[in-house]
Each structure stands twice: as structure tokens, then as C-alpha cells.
């Protein structure tokens, strides 16, 4: 069985003070290489993407072609920055409708800023309202991400990352123990410089889903893709 869910794009850039990078509900792409925003500087992103998933036994496929995405980051120190992100998100289950989520994270760059190879770790937590079988529920999503990036040519930075996210839905019947899932897997992208302070970043990832919804196991895989336009100021 296949279901297709379309989400109207909400271009939301309503953030002041902390910025973006991971996965409220089920948005797992970070759209960022390992470098951090310089202290006192800001960077913003806006774009869209989608998700295909196949979960359960028998398998149930779902496809959400448009998931709007926007965020802002600021530098805290030479190797630390913080981000805030808003995105429409979709859990990989037909009984859970797409909704709006927000996420806060911090990134720590482990290498020197001038190094041709960059390594960083990101830790964040997301929050989203979910529509589960016609009822509004809230979900929390802590997660971590390891990013490696390399400048392959002038204006082109390739990056790959490994991400893990846990999502619990404590307000659903049975609590988080009966309504939760975890997602983990690799992703890769390319930051392409268009102008001095403007870049476009496409990314794609493949993720394994393990979870319970209404105390029923529904494991499977998912693919997410997207692209954002970034601005530094």
C-alpha cells in the first residue's frame, strides 16, 4: 500500500538568537559541512526537500514530496556555534501526519578552521506537534551527528555525516514506551558557493527506522533529500 502526503511549504524564518541543524520529528538532514559560523556572525538557510519510507510487515510505503525548511545560526566562539531550525516534518508511518517542528543544536568543530579536512560533532533536541490518527500529540527528539567535510575545489565543499535521532511521543496512548522510534544512517551533500555570501547545499541520506506506534512494531528504511539556499551576514 502506498500513501502520498503533500505539505504546503511554509517559509518560516522567525528566529532570533539560536539556529539550525537536525531533526525534529523526523527531519534528518543537516545541510551543513563541518565548519562553524565565526563568532558574532550569522548564517541563515531556507529550502525544501522530501521523504520516502517503507516500514512495517507487510511493507507500507509513504512519500512526502515537500517538507519546508528554514533556520539561522550564530557563532559562539572560534569552534562553537548554535542553531535554530523550523521545518515541516513527517514520521515514516501512515497514521502520523506531517506537522511543524523546531530544533535547537550546538556544533563543535574539532579541527582547525584552516584545515582542508574538517570534523565536527552536533548535539541537539527537537520538538514537534504530530497528528496521530486525528489527534494532536507532542514529540521530543534528541539526537547527535558526526560530520566530516573537505573542500574539493574552489567554491565546492563536500561533506558526509552519520546521524542518530530518538523520537518519543509521551502524550500518545501508552506513553513514549509504546510510541517511539529511532532513526540512524549516513547522508552526503555538497555546499556550492554562488556568491561571496550565498551558497546552495543539496543533500541526500538513507536511514534505518526502528519503532513502535500504538505499541505496534514498524521497522524499515527511509530516504530523505533536499536543498537549501544559505546566506551569511
pLDDT digits (tens, 9 = 90+) for 11-42: 222 222 222 222 333 468 899 999 999 999 99
Specify the number of domains making up the chain: 1
Exposure string of 151-165, with b = 16+ CB inside 10 Å and e = fewer, is beeeeebebbbebbb
Beta-ladder partners of 146 = 121, 162
Quick: pLDDT tens for 95-148. 455 567 889 999 999 999 999 999 999 999 988 876 666 666 778 889 999 999
Which of 49-53, 122-126, 209-213, 222-226 is predicted least confidently?
209-213
Q: How many C-beta atoms lie closer than 10 Å to residue 4's C-beta?
A: 10
Whole-number pLDDT of residue 79: 97
Give the CATH number of the domain where residue 183 resides.
Answer: 2.40.128.90
Mode of pairing for the β-strands spanning 60-75 and 2-4: parallel
Q: Which range marks the domain in which residue 140 is found?
A: 2-232
Average pLDDT of the residues in 47-68: 84
Q: Which three cell numbers stand for residue 139?
A: 514529540
More confident residue, 57 or 93: 57
Cβ neighbours of residue 34 under 8 Å, at least 6 residues apart?
109, 111, 118, 119, 120, 147, 148, 149, 159
Say what the pTM is. Answer: 0.81
Which of 23-37, 62-76, 145-159, 173-187 is predicted least confidently?
23-37
Name the DSSP class of 179: S
Cβ neighbours of residue 132 under 8 Å, at least 6 residues apart?
95, 96, 97, 169, 172, 179, 213
Amino acid at each position: 500500500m502506498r500513501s502520498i502526503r503533500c505539505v504546503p511549504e511554509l517559509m518560516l524564518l522567525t528566529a532570533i538568537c539560536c539556529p539550525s541543524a537536525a531533526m525534529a520529528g523526523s527531519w534528518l538532514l543537516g545541510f551543513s559541512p563541518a565548519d562553524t559560523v565565526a563568532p558574532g556572525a550569522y548564517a541563515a538557510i531556507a529550502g525544501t526537500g522530501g521523504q520516502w519510507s517503507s516500514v512495517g510487515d507487510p511493507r507500507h510505503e509513504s512519500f512526502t514530496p515537500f517538507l519546508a525548511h528554514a533556520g539561522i545560526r550564530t557563532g559562539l566562539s572560534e569552534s562553537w556555534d548554535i542553531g535554530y531550525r523550523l521545518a515541516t516534518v513527517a514520521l515514516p508511518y501512515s497514521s502520523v501526519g506531517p506537522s511543524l517542528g523546531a530544533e535547537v543544536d550546538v556544533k563543535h568543530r574539532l579541527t582547525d578552521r584552516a584545515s582542508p579536512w574538517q570534523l565536527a560533532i552536533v548535539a541537539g533536541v527537537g520538538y514537534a506537534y504530530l497528528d496521530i490518527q486525528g489527534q494532536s500529540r507532542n514529540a521530543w527528539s534528541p539526537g547527535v551527528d558526526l560530520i566530516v567535510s573537505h573542500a574539493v575545489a574552489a567554491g565546492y565543499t563536500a561533506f558526509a555525516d552519520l546521524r542518530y535521532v530518538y523520537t518519543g511521543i509521551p502524550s500518545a496512548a501508552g506513553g513514549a514506551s509504546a510510541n517511539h522510534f529511532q532513526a540512524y544512517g549516513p547522508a552526503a551533500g555538497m555546499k556550492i558557493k554562488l556568491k561571496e555570501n550565498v551558497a546552495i547545499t543539496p543533500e541526500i541520506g538513507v536511514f534505518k527506522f526502528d519503532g513502535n506506534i500504538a505499541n505496534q512494531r514498524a521497522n524499515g528504511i527511509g530516504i530523505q533529500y533536499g536543498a537549501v539556499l544559505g546566506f551569511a551576514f
